[in-house]
C-alpha cells in the first residue's frame, strides 16, 4: 500500500457545498431558504426550520437552481434552432 496519501479538498469546486455558497459560487439552493426566512420574520429559528422542512417535503418550495434554468434555456434554444432548420 502506498504511503504517500494526498488529501484534496473538492468542496471549493462542488457547487452544492457550503464553502462554494459562501464564495458566491453555489448552485442557488440557499436562495430558497433566504426567501422563506424573509417571508416569515416572526417565527423563531426552530419553528422556521420545521416549517421550511414541511413545505419543502410536500413540494411547496422549489429550489431555484441557476444551472437548471441555464439547462432549460439551452433546450429551448436547441428546439428553436431545430424548428428553424426544418422549416
What is the predicted pLDDT for the residue at 38? Answer: 94
The domain ranges of the chain are: 30-86
Please tell me the distance from the alpha carbon of residue 50 to that of residue 37, in angstroms, as a whole number. 12
Please tell me the distance from the alpha carbon of residue 85 to that of residue 87, in angstroms, as a whole number. 6
The single residue listed with the C-alpha cell 469546486 is 13
What is the predicted pLDDT for the residue at 46? Answer: 95
pLDDT in tens, the chain (87 residues): 567 777 777 777 777 787 887 887 777 778 888 889 999 999 999 999 999 999 988 888 876 666 666 667 788 888 898 889 987
Please tell me the distance from the alpha carbon of residue 10 to that of residue 35, in angstroms, as a whole number. 28
What is the predicted pLDDT for the residue at 26? Answer: 75
Query: CB-hemisphere CA count at 13 Å for 60?
Result: 8
What is the predicted pLDDT for the residue at 40? Answer: 93
Amino acid at each position: 500500500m502506498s504511503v504517500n496519501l494526498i488529501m484534496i479538498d473538492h468542496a471549493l469546486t462542488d457547487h452544492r457545498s457550503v464553502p462554494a455558497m459562501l464564495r458566491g459560487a453555489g448552485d442557488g439552493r440557499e436562495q430558497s431558504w433566504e426567501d422563506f426566512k424573509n417571508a416569515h420574520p416572526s417565527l423563531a429559528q426552530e419553528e422556521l426550520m420545521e416549517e421550511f422542512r414541511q413545505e419543502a417535503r410536500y413540494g411547496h418550495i422549489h429550489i431555484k437552481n441557476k444551472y437548471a434554468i441555464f439547462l432549460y434555456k439551452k433546450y429551448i434554444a436547441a428546439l428553436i434552432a431545430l424548428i428553424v432548420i426544418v422549416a
